Each structure stands twice: as structure tokens, then as C-alpha cells.
Amino acid sequence: MPCPTPTSHERAPLAFDLLLPRRVAFGWGRRRDIGALAGPLGRRALLVTGSRTLSRLGHVDEICGLLGRAGIEIVRLAESSREPRVEDVDRVAHRLHEMNVGTGDGDFVLAVGGGAAIDLGKAAAAMATNANGCSVREFLEGVGTVRTLSRPPLPVMAMPTTAGTGSEATKNAVISSDDPPFKKSLRCDDLVPRVALVDPELTASAGAAVTAHAGMDAITQLIESYLTPRATPTTRALAIDALVDTPQALRTACASGASDEASAAQQRQARETMARAAFTSGVTLANSGLGMAHGVAAALGVHCAVPHGLACAVMLPAAMRTNRSVCESMIAKLAVPLTGRCDGDVATDAARAIEAIESLCHDVGIPRCLGDIGVRSHQLDAIVASSRGNSMNGNPRTLGDEELHVILESLL
């Protein structure tokens, strides 16, 4: 039986914007092209890096050497060891002010690392030209004083070293705070990096847990940006295409290291597939939005210190089940890219798609319950309150606080 075709009410209006990095360079070993790619951005690179593993493996020195040979000066601006907080961004902004950055041409930010490092780099680029003595907090949606980024940020080149957030293609930087607790976005179309340099080889050193959490973040972003009513035909097509083969690719990428030439080739292909999925998820979320899993994941990070990708992974099956009543036919269409099968029966295919995600989570070591990642019942009220925001607003099904509380309680 053929797979069902979209009904008229599922088709998004044929009018949309599509934000993308100005230049995308993708491929194994493409970091070696950084000199030519960075040249048009400026003559001084303000370097923000992530995990110290990058330095230990020699990648940072290699990148600096390539830039130096291209005649580009390197200033090591910051090293990110956590998801960026208000004080981290303000500290970097203060240093940029002391360096007189943002008053002329020639400077650009080079962010090399996971989503946290890229978000810190993007926030630094924005504050370099807009801070004027203000904290980044004043520019964050939902908590600030409605200040806007009135001047264009510095150009940004983003080089992801994990295949997860897709921050190399998004228009926001996620910033956290402990007092008061929140996780909010600094958002502006001009924050989309000028250049996304995606070298899947840089993700190969990530361990199994980091790979699993990052990969599930990307898959969650693809699924939520596909299901949201804000999606367009273009973003839905991109999401479906990027989901093909991702379950097996993530399983392979999380497996132990290559022991022979054949397994090394499989690892490379898996890393390439997940890097493309992560980049595409950044494109689709930037242009369509997300949903319940990401709304709750942000709150889990704020109140329970759950790593973002892990929080998304735990919430994704529950979000798909919750939304099934209003978009079952859309979920059914995910069966083909996730499992390679389609029976043509909407209920059967929707169930198969959800089961595929549950099976993938199990295989890559994702816990089933919120209680297994440290969430306690007395925290649920605060988690529900903090789940509201741009992501939850894109969820296919409208959820009241009481219903969301019941859903989360069932996951303990």
C-alpha cells in the first residue's frame, strides 16, 4: 500500500523566508580550507574554543597555523567549558571593550567547538558592537529590558566539533543564568554565521556519551521542526531528507573505535551523516522553530542541570506521543526515514516511528525516565513554568500547565 500523501490542511502556505549561512563548506578535512574561507571576513580572528580535547589533539594549533599562513592574526578570546552564562558573555564583552573591538573593520569571531562554544562566540560578536556598557541579559528575550541589537554583530565563522545543536546555522545564542534561573536566547537574523565550516572529522574524537546526546539533539530538532505548524514545505523536505539513515549512523558513531579499514570507513560515513543532520537541523529550526521536547529541555537544564542533548533525548518520545493526537499523519511519514518501512496505515506507521526513536534511545544509552537523570517531583512546578517560551509556542498541540505537569509526572 502506498504511503499517505499530505492532506490540504497539512500543507504550509507557500510564502516563507529562508535564513542560511552565507557560505557553507562541508566535508571531511575541510578545516584545511580555513585560510581561504576566513580571508573575506577580516584580518584578525577572535578565537573562541570549546573542549580542551581540541587543544590536546592539536586541532587548535593546526587552525591557528593555517590562519597565520593566510596572513590572519589570531587573538585567543575565550575557552568555553560549559553552556554560556550571562557572566561569561559579559566577561568576554568587557575584554572586547578593552581591546577596542567593534569600532572598526577587520575583526571577526571564529568559534570552534560544540554548541556552547559557538553560542558564546555568537554572543561575543553581538556584544562587541552593541553592549555599550550593558549586560547581555538586557538583550535576552523574555527577561531583558527589550533592548535590541541595533548594530550588526561582528562576522562569525562557526566550526562545530560535535554533531548536535546546529548552532553553526542558527540565528540565536542560548544564554543561561543561575540567579535568577533561566535559559533564554539572544536572537537576531544577523547572528546566523557568515561561514559554517563543517568538518565531520573534528567530531570523531567525541566520546560515546557526547556523541549520543549531541546526535539525539539533532534528531529531536529535525523531528520537532518538521512537526511544528510553523514549518514550510522547504524546511519539512530538508528535515525528512536529513533524517534518512540517522538512527543507524548514530548507533555506529557511538560504537567503539574502528578496528579495521572497513569499520573505519563506516565510522567516517556515520560521522558525516550525523554532521549533515546536525547542520540541517540548525537550518530547519532557525526557519521553523521547535516544540515541547526543547521547551522542557531548556527548563531541565535550568532547574536540574541536565545536559541539553540528554534532556531532549529523554523528552522526544513523550513529545511525539503527546502530539500524536493532532498530527498522527505527519508522525507516520517519519517511519520511512527512521525505519525504511511504510505500510500505508497511518496508525501503524506513526507507532513504528515512535518505537524507532524509543529503540534508538535505548541503543545509545538514553534513560527512559526523568527520575533517572535526577529530576524530582518537587521540581516539576518550576520546570513547567520555565518550559514556556519560543520552543513550546511552536508545539503542534497546545498544552496547559496542568496537562504538562501530568505528562512530566508520568515520566518520573
Residue 1 belongs to some domain of the structure: no
Q: Are the beta carbons of 389 and 184 closer than 8 angstroms?
A: yes
Give the single-character DSSP code of 85: B
* Residue 313, H or E segment: helix 308-332
Domain count, the chain: 2
Q: Are residues 272 and 393 in the same domain?
A: yes
Residue-level pLDDT at 305: 95
- pLDDT reported for residue 7: 47
In a domain, 292, yes or no: yes
Q: pTM to 2 decimals? A: 0.94
Domain identity same for 320 and 370: yes
What tens-digit pLDDT sequence spans the chain (412 residues)? 445 444 444 554 577 889 999 999 999 999 999 999 999 999 999 999 997 888 888 999 999 999 999 999 999 999 988 999 999 999 999 999 999 887 667 999 999 999 999 999 999 999 999 998 899 999 999 887 878 999 999 999 999 999 999 999 999 999 999 889 999 999 999 999 999 999 999 999 999 999 999 999 999 999 999 999 999 999 999 999 999 999 999 999 999 665 577 788 999 999 999 999 999 999 999 999 999 999 999 999 999 999 999 999 999 999 999 999 999 999 999 999 999 999 999 999 999 999 999 999 999 999 999 999 999 999 999 999 999 989 999 999 999 999 999 999 999 9
Query: Is 160 in the same domain as 301?
Result: no
CB of 189 closer than 8 Å to CB of 202: no
Residue 15 lies in a domain: no
100: Cβ contacts below 8 Å, ≥ 6 apart: none
Same domain, 256 and 401: yes
Pair 241, 288 in one domain:
yes
195 and 254 together in one domain: no
| CATH number of the domain within which 92 lies | 3.40.50.1970
Contacts 24+ apart (CB under 8 A), 2-10: 2/344, 3/332, 3/333, 3/336, 3/342, 3/344, 3/349, 4/329, 4/332, 4/333, 4/344, 4/346, 6/329, 7/329, 10/329, 10/330
Q: Of 203, 228, 245, which marks where a domain is finished?
A: 203
Domain ends where: 168, 203, 238? 203
Cβ-contact 119, 187 below 8 angstroms:
no
In a domain, 7, yes or no: no
173 inside domain: yes
Q: What is the DSSP letter of 411?
A: T
Q: What is the pLDDT of residue 8?
A: 43
Last residue of a domain, one of 150, 170, 203: 203
In a domain, 8, yes or no: no
Q: Cα separation of 335 and 320, whole Å?
A: 13
| Whether residues 255 and 117 fall in one domain | no
Residue with cell 504511503: 3
Give the β-pairing of 181-187 and 172-178: antiparallel
pLDDT given for residue 6 in this prediction: 46
- 11 occurs within a structural domain: no
Asked whether residue 192 falls in the same domain as residue 278, the answer is no
Look up cell 511552536; give the residue: 394
For the chain, the distance separating the N- and C-terminal CA atoms, rounded to the nearest angstrom, is 39
Q: What are phi and psi of 184, to 5 degrees?
A: -135, 165
- 234 and 321 both lie in a single domain: yes
Instruction: Assess whether 312 and 333 both reside in one domain.
Output: yes
CATH number at residue 225: 1.20.1090.10
The CA-CA-CA angle for residues 71, 75, 78, to 5°, reads 145
Amino acid identity of residue 189, one-letter, is: D
Range of the domain at 212: 208-410
Q: Is residue 14 assigned to a domain?
A: no
* 191 & 255 share domain: no
Which grid cell sits at 143? 527577561
Whose grid coordinates read 542560548? 174
pLDDT score, position 13: 55
Residue 165 and residue 253 share a domain: no
